[in-house]
Structure formats: structure tokens, C-alpha cells
């Protein structure tokens, strides 16, 4: 990319150092910054506006299916956390504890929620009496804390924002239906709004959530071929409702434990978005979640009438789009173009005296850098169509990459060679034993991503041990 030096001097080359490119983008595109609290980030207005858009979309989709929002406490007494054995084992190493408050040492340590199954279960057990009270389907938007050793903005932060939905049901079937319904909603958010194709499937025993019967996942692929777990939905059966005594009188008058689910997506999706769509010019935000969909840059803005016309155009566009004018007088148009590209604004409009004379303006697409001169008469319609096309094009580019980076391996040699040369997903048959899963991990550094819903029979034998295969699994290295 010959022009690179001109505008993004301080961003690492995406093909040379993807990890550094990523953090450079986070900082330079004004999404977030490091905070004084180690491992935590400060989400800045531009980054937070992406999250607000994702949140609004998700919240609406949740509510359409009957989910209601609540807010439950941040602090969990240590004894509550310990009620479900697998759960506490999974989370204990990552928990932060409050031990002093109000000038005194506490009798019982309080943990900051790493997730709230224990809190929801405790409250549900208090409220649930009869089958008539079911389902209870609550969700909260909040922050959680997990004391990670290695952190990376948005992808893995000690504190992060998410939503956690927790539901209880009368029957196993209904709970499983809700579990899978939420996975479909997550897939829709990521595919239809974030323009990233997902792989849907079930986690293996080893990779499932601590305390769950089954964990379902949507996985996305980064530009450099790493896998990202981007949303999970868990079926708990009665694993929590039994120790927490979440029981009800069923239709036959007998006491029964409820069937439970939980599911979450987080600000990690912003990381997925950056890693799926960015390039050497900077970020690329899909129009549907872009805080600014169109930015207008006046050319020769000191000339009479230019600023006036530009603001007129803004007024017309803002009826349908999130639009702003960059009328800074201390930087050049060239600087503004670069800034626009760095921030990943889907469409920029250039408008100067000659354009005005011709009743035109120039549209520049962020995805292709294509320049299109259009008449002002139908400008809203033109912009609408182009934004739709950008959204689709961004999805298709990722889809094509996904196909190119998904390979089949029938032997471990093939597995190793393919993942080393082309990164990405490896499809391979698996016997179902954790020993093979561990061996594959050791040898290739690839985790099982999931047992995809869409199964194929690549061969009859496990890629690792050669014994009879049970599933086709997708494997990949992860961030």
C-alpha cells in the first residue's frame, strides 16, 4: 500500500503486526484509551457510541421476544458464589474481592460479579412459587469483572460491559428453545448489523461454561485468521436451580426444580468488528452501527456559500442518517479525508464551489475508496443505496475470507501444516475424547471452536487418535 505513509504514519502495518495494528486503531481512532486501573480501559465517546448502537439493536430484539430488563447487585457474598461447584471452580481464580468498606473490615468477603447466575438464582428462588409464574426471563446491561492476566482493549479487559440474560422455565424443552433462540438473535446481530458471518455450534465439554449442561456459541474470524468467541448461550438444566432451590409447584401439584438458561454478548463485539473489517487506512464500521454514517467535508470552505450549502446538505441528510460536517478551520481537507478513513466512517461527502455550481457532490466509500459524483436532487436516495451496498459488501468480503480460511484436515500433519500456512479454521473429525482435544491443542495451539450445527462427514475416524469419529469439529487459534 504505497500511499500509507501519507496518512497513517503511526499505525502499524496490518500485515506485518496485526496485534499492534489493532491496539493502534483502538487508540488512534479514538475508541478507547488505557486507564490508570491496570487492565481496564476508558471507552471514549466514539467507541461508546458503537456500543450504544449495538445495545439498542439487541435490546429491541430481546424485548420483542418477551425479555425484561432488571438491575441486580454488583457485589455477591462469597458464600453464594460457592453454591455451585463447577461454577466456583471456573470463576474463583478470576474474582476480585471487596474486604473493607465504610472504614471497617467486612465479616464476609464480597466478590464483584464476574457473571450473575448465583444472584439471579437466589432471587428467582425467592420469587418463584407456581408454574404460573414461569417463565421468568430477565436481562441486565451492566459491567462485570474478571481478573485476566493478559488483557487487550475490548477483546479481554478486566472490566467489560455486557448484557447477561437469565431465564427459568417450566420445562426442559422450553429452556432449550430459549437457549437456541438467543443464539439466533446473537447471530443476527453479528451478521445483519456488524456484517460479520458467524459459525454456529455447540462447545465441547472442555470449552463449555462452568456449570452449564450445554454451551452454544457464535464464532467469528479475524482478518488474520484467528477465532473469536463472540456470543454464548447456555442451557443449565437444573444445575443451579437444585443447589439454589429454585422450585415451583407444577401443573400436577408437585414440587419441581426450574430449567434455566443464561446468555451474553459484550463489548468484545467491538473488538470483533475492528478485527474483521479494518485495513491499513484504519477502522471500517458497518453503516448500521456506525456512530457517524456520513461526514461532509467542505472544500475551499472559506469561499462564499460553501459552508452554507454544506450545512444545507447536512440538514437534508440528517432526516435519514447520522451525519456530521467537519468544518474545522485549522486542518486541511486532506487531513480530514484521512481522519474520516481512520475513524471508519462508511461514507464521506466532498463538496466545493465547483460541485455546488454543478448541483453535485462527491461521495467516497470507505470500503472501496471509490469516488462517485452524484447530483444533489436525489441525494438521500443515493446515500441510502450506497450505505446498503457498503453494508452488504463488507459482509461479503468477510464471508469470502471465511471460506478461504476454512480448511479440512484428515491427518494431524495436514492439520498442522494448514493452520501454520493459512491460519483460520480447520474442520476435522473428532472422537469426542478430551485427551485428543488436549493433544490437538498442544500440537497446533488450536482450540476446539465448536461442534457446528451443520455437520459434515469428512471421514470416519478421529483426526488425532484414528478411532471412530463422533463429530466434525471446527478448530482455530484464538485471541
**Residue ranges in contact with its own copies by CB under 8 A:** 33, 35-37, 40-45, 48-49, 51-52, 68-77, 80, 92-103, 109-110, 112, 119, 122-123, 126-127, 132, 138, 142-143, 145, 147, 149, 159, 161, 330
Closest to 444 measured CA to CA, from 420, 461, 469: 420
Of 9 and 149, which CB lies nearer to its own copies in the complex structure?
149
Of 18 and 321, which CB lies nearer to its own copies in the complex structure?
321
Query: Beta strands of 170-321 (E only): which ranges?
Result: 199-202, 214-221, 227-237, 247-249, 255-257, 259-266, 294-298
Q: Is 257:242 a contact under the CB 8 Å cutoff?
A: yes
What is residue 472's DSSP assignment?
A: E
Give min distance, CB of 103 to its own copies, in A: 5
Q: Is the dihedral of CA 416, 417, 420, 425 positive or negative?
A: negative
Q: Is the dihedral of CA 274, 278, 283, 286 positive or negative?
A: negative
Phi, psi of 328 (to 5 degrees): -60, 140
Give min distance, CB of 141 to its own copies, in A: 9
Give the CA count within 13 Å in the CB-facing half-sphere of 476. 27
136-145 and 68-69 as β-strands: parallel, antiparallel, unpaired? parallel
Cβ neighbours for 335, distance < 8 A, ≥ 6 positions apart: none
- Distance between CA atoms of 154 and 161, rounded to whole angstroms? 9
Buried b (16+ CB within 10 A) or exposed e, 277-303: bbbbbbbbbbbbbbbbbbbbbbbebee
Give min distance, CB of 180 to its own copies, in A: 23
Of 302 and 421, which CB lies nearer to its own copies in the complex structure?
302
Of 1 and 42, which CB lies nearer to its own copies in the complex structure?
42
Q: Is 214:451 a contact under the CB 8 Å cutoff?
A: no
Q: Is 233:179 a contact under the CB 8 Å cutoff?
A: yes
Give the CA count within 13 Å in the CB-facing half-sphere of 242. 7
Amino acid at each position: 500500500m504505497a500511499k500509507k505513509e501519507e496518512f497513517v504514519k503511526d499505525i502499524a502495518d496490518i500485515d506485518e503486526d496485526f496485534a499492534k495494528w489493532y491496539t493502534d486503531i483502538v487508540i488512534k481512532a479514538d475508541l478507547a484509551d488505557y486507564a490508570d486501573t491496570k487492565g481496564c480501559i476508558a471507552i471514549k465517546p466514539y467507541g461508546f457510541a458503537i456500543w450504544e448502537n449495538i445495545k439498542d439493536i439487541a435490546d429491541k430484539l430481546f424485548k420483542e421476544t418477551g425479555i425484561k430488563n432488571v438491575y441486580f447487585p454488583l457485589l455477591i457474598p462469597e458464600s453464594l458464589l460457592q453454591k455451585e461447584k463447577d461454577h466456583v471452580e471456573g470463576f474463583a481464580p478470576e474474582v476480585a474481592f471487596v474486604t473493607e468498606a465504610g472504614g471497617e473490615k467486612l465479616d464476609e468477603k464480597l466478590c464483584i460479579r464476574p457473571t450473575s447466575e448465583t444472584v439471579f438464582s437466589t432471587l428467582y428462588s425467592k420469587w418463584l412459587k407456581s408454574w404460573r409464574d414461569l417463565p421468568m426471563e430477565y436481562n441486565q446491561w451492566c459491567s462485570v469483572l474478571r481478573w485476566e492476566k493478559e488483557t487487550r482493549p475490548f477483546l479481554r479487559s478486566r472490566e467489560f460491559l455486557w448484557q447477561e440474560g437469565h431465564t427459568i422455565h417450566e420445562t426442559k424443552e422450553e429452556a432449550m428453545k430459549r437457549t437456541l433462540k438467543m443464539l439466533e438473535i446473537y447471530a443476527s446481530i453479528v451478521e445483519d448489523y456488524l456484517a460479520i458471518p458467524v459459525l454456529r455450534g455447540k462447545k465441547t465439554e472442555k470449552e463449555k461454561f462452568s456449570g452449564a449442561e450445554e454451551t452454544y456459541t457464535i464464532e467469528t474470524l479475524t482478518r488474520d485468521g484467528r477465532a473469536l468467541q463472540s456470543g454464548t448461550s447456555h442451557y443449565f438444566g437444573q444445575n443451579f436451580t437444585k443447589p439454589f432451590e429454585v422450585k415451583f409447584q407444577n401443573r400436577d401439584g408437585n414440587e419441581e426444580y426450574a430449567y434455566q438458561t443464561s446468555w451474553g454478548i459484550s463489548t468484545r463485539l467491538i473488538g470483533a468488528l475492528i478485527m474483521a473489517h479494518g485495513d491499513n487506512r484504519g477502522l471500517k464500521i458497518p453503516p448500521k452501527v456506525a456512530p457517524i454514517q456520513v461526514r461532509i467535508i467542505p472544500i475551499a470552505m472559506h469561499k462564499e456559500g460553501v459552508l452554507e450549502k454544506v450545512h444545507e446538505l447536512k440538514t437534508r441528510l440528517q432526516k435519514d442518517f447520522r451525519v456530521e460536517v467537519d468544518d474545522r478551520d485549522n486542518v486541511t481537507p486532506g487531513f480530514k479525508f484521512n481522519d474520516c478513513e481512520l475513524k471508519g466512517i462508511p461514507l464521506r461527502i466532498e463538496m466545493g464551489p465547483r460541485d455546488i455550481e454543478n448541483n453535485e457532490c462527491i461521495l467516497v466509500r470507505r470500503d472501496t475508496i471509490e469516488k462517485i459524483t452524484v447530483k444533489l436532487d436525489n441525494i438521500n436516495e443515493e446515500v441510502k443505496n450506497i450505505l446498503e451496498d457498503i453494508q452488504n459488501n463488507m459482509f461479503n468480503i468477510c464471508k469470502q475470507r471465511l471460506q478461504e480460511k476454512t480448511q479440512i484436515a484428515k491427518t494431524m500433519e495436514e492439520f498442522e501444516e494448514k493452520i501454520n500456512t493459512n491460519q483460520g479454521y480447520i474442520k476435522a473429525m473428532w472422537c469426542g475424547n478430551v485427551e485428543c482435544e488436549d493433544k490437538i491443542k498442544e500440537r497446533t495451539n488450536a482450540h476446539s471452536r465448536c461442534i457446528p450445527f451443520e455437520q459434515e462427514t469428512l471421514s470416519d475416524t478421529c483426526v488425532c487418535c484414528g478411532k471412530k469419529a463422533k463429530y466434525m469439529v471446527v478448530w482455530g487459534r484464538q485471541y
